[in-house]
């Protein structure tokens, strides 16, 4: 009799997303070997698949934040405000009034690196605009140019909208982090099914091995080592009863 034993992995100590991904990957590599696994292993695999599908649905539900729907219009508001700033500068840069044209060109030169900030990822855009507005507010010549074009209110409005977006974005992330920390009520069921499946496969590898079972055992053990490195360390093994 062989002595196959899975590498240690503390599944309960993993994040809910990593637990789901580990189980999903284990299921995916098991499906091609189903015809060689036997009735018992296939029954446990079916239960594991159902439990992990339900787990995944709950994760998606938990992680969809109502604040996400608010981020879209908040981002559009600041995009529209920056577009207004760009349009005004472009308009005055063609003015026949030499003073206004010079002021617009000064602002356009300054804004060149930030002109298309709206195309950047949301949080990157926030940082880029914050940097731009800080430099603008600290530069008397830029402030004077904007004042001569009646644009101080436009820049101020952009700052307000960018700050409002940033506050909302951080609130959303804090909410999702809290949900991630609190976990899911279906995690224990998914973990228990995973442990049962690992136990059954371990026993099959020792008492009724065939080429498909041994290959699957080795591939799943590689997955366990991978997720152990991601933070699933500990003394628990799949044959132990994790509570």
Question: What does the pLDDT profile of the chain (243 residues) look like in tens digits?
Answer: 568 899 999 998 888 888 999 999 999 999 999 999 999 999 999 999 999 999 888 877 765 665 677 888 999 999 999 999 999 999 999 999 999 999 999 999 999 999 999 998 888 899 999 999 999 999 999 999 999 999 999 999 999 999 999 998 888 877 666 655 445 678 899 999 999 999 999 999 999 999 999 999 999 999 999 988 876 543 333 333 232
Nearest to 51 by CA among 216, 192, 238: 192
Q: 193-218: buried (b, 16+ CB within 10 Å) or exposed (e) per residue?
A: bbbbbbbbbbebbeeeeeebbeebbe
| The token pair that represents 95 in the structure block | 């003015």
CA dist 120 and 155 (Å) reads 19
CA dist 135 and 120 (Å) reads 19
Phi, psi of 132 (to 5 degrees): -60, -45
């Amino acid at each position: 009799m062989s002595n196959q034993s899975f590498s240690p992995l503390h599944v309960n100590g993993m994040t809910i997303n990593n637990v789901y991904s580990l189980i999903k990957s284990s299921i995916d590599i098991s499906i091609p070997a189903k015809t060689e696994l036997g009735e018992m292993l296939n029954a446990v695999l079916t239960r594991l698949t159902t439990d992990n599908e339900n787990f995944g649905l709950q994760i998606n539900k938990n992680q969809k934040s109502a604040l996400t729907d608010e981020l879209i219009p908040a981002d559009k508001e600041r995009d529209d405000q920056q577009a207004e700033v760009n349009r005004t500068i472009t308009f005055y840069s063609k003015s026949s009034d030499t003073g206004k044209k010079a002021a617009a060109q000064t602002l356009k030169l300054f804004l060149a690196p930030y002109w298309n900030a709206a195309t950047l990822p949301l949080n990157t855009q926030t940082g880029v605009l914050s940097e731009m507005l800080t430099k603008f507010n600290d530069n008397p010549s830029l402030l004077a140019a904007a004042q001569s074009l009646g644009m101080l209110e436009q820049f101020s409005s952009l700052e307000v909208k960018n700050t409002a977006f940033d506050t909302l974005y951080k609130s959303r992330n804090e909410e999702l982090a809290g949900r991630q920390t609190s976990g899911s009520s279906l995690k224990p069921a998914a973990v228990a099914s995973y442990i049962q499946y690992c136990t059954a496969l371990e026993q099959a590898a020792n008492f009724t091995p065939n080429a498909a079972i041994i290959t699957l055992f080795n591939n799943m053990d590689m997955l366990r080592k991978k997720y152990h490195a991601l933070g699933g360390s500990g003394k628990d093994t799949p044959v132990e009863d994790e509570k």
